[in-house]
Amino acid sequence: MALIRPFQNSDTNRLAVAWREHWQTVGPIVSTTSAQLEQAILDKPFFEFDHMLVIEEEGQLVGFSHLQTDPSDDPPIRARIASFCVGQCADRRASAAALLQASIDLSAKAGIREFEVGTVLGDLSGLVGLEPYSGVIGIPDSDHLMVELLTAAGFEPRTQMIAMELDLTSFRAPVDRELLLLRRMATIDERPQQLPTDWRAACAHSHFDITEFVVSNRTGQELASATFYLSDRDALVMDRGLLYLANFDDLSGNPLDVDLAAEVRYAVAGSLPSMVQRRFHTVRAIINSGKPSAPARIDFLTRLGFHHVAAGSAYHRTL
């Protein structure tokens, strides 16, 4: 008989096993370790033991559900299942359904009214960088079990995300007349950024570094920027050869159009060669497909050589 209970320190190694087994059923082969899960989830000062539920079968932990409340609420009325995994067990669907319902019941008992499942890039969960895509695109569309259970429980997809990747080992920056002109008329400067001053954001981002490349003209006017997340040298969470292209923006006040400003293209394409020299092998970009600029951004990345690797959504339900 399955037993659902709060997390205990002795569960750490089995969390990693459940994580790996869950993702093997979805598709990607991952090698996430207990040390990585500790840094991303358990070591965060906002981690609450009673908000992580684990499920056991025959005395063996086979899955877990990690709840987080919205830090801006007092008292909390919004909660999210930041990560949800069920590995190999006798009846995986029944165990997953029971664990999901227990998470919903725990939230409702605490007065939660708005409930989401799955984190996306920008959420302060601490999961960004964990493989495969769970920290940035919500519940992947390829996770058929979770999609089925959430739909049956009355959840609806609300924030739809697309993951795209570029292999840097064969990357060559595109060349056109506008970019050639910018090479002569503008500079690209790298600016390592400090962690956010908000303590929750700083803790959630503590396992990676943030660096920004800014394109400026001869007068010093800033034209465009590209921001990357990369693994902190002393952290274990992210693949050290992986970059996240977190943002690319026009700083001159012009809205992004279908072709995007040449300065934005220069900020991204011009900064990647320096990352290749630092032995980064992959750059990943996450696009919120619900935003008006999404088609232009996807087209822009495609022309740079990015390809689609996954899609997912954060699911929402009012309790």
**Model confidence pLDDT, tens digit, residues 218-270:** 888 888 999 998 888 777 788 888 889 988 888 876 655 445 678 888 899 88
Q: Output the pLDDT for position 71.
A: 67
Q: Output the pLDDT for position 134.
A: 60
Q: Output the pLDDT for position 319.
A: 86
What mean pLDDT do residues 36-52 have? Answer: 88
In angstroms, rounded to a whole number, what is the distance separating the alpha carbons of residues 145 and 263? Answer: 43
CA-to-CA separations, 267 to 48, 234, 255, in angstroms, rounded: 40, 28, 16
Lowest-confidence region among 182-196, 203-217, 256-270: 256-270
How do 208-217 and 222-231 pair as beta strands?
Answer: antiparallel
235 Cβ partners below 8 Å, 6+ apart?
Answer: 39, 206, 207, 208
Q: What is the dihedral of CA 112, 113, 118, 121, to 10 degrees?
A: -100
What are 46-65's pLDDT values in tens digits? 888 889 999 999 889 999 99
pLDDT grade for 153, boundaries at 50, 70 and 90? very high
- 111: amino acid identity, one letter: G
Q: Output the pLDDT for position 300.
A: 87
What mean pLDDT do residues 6-20 have? Answer: 93
Lowest-confidence region among 63-72, 192-201, 227-236: 192-201
In angstroms, rounded to a whole number, what is the distance separating the alpha carbons of residues 86 and 61? Answer: 9
Lowest-confidence region among 23-37, 102-116, 157-171, 256-270: 256-270
In angstroms, rounded to a whole number, what is the distance separating the alpha carbons of residues 246 and 128? Answer: 11
Q: Output the pLDDT for position 126.
A: 82
Q: Output the pLDDT for position 117.
A: 94
What mean pLDDT do residues 51-80 have? Answer: 87
28 Cβ partners below 8 Å, 6+ apart?
Answer: 131, 132, 133
68 Cβ partners below 8 Å, 6+ apart?
Answer: 46, 51, 79, 80, 82, 125
Q: Output the pLDDT for position 156.
A: 96
> For residue 273, is pLDDT > 70?
yes
Cβ–Cβ under 8 Å, residues 138 and 313:
yes
Tokens of 286: 């996450």
* H helix intervals, 75-176: 92-109, 144-152
Q: Output the pLDDT for position 258.
A: 40
> For residue 313, is pLDDT > 80?
yes
pTM summary value? 0.87
Task: Give the mean pLDDT of the chain.
Answer: 87
- 134: amino acid identity, one letter: S
Q: Output the pLDDT for position 254.
A: 62
Lowest-confidence region among 29-43, 100-114, 123-137: 123-137
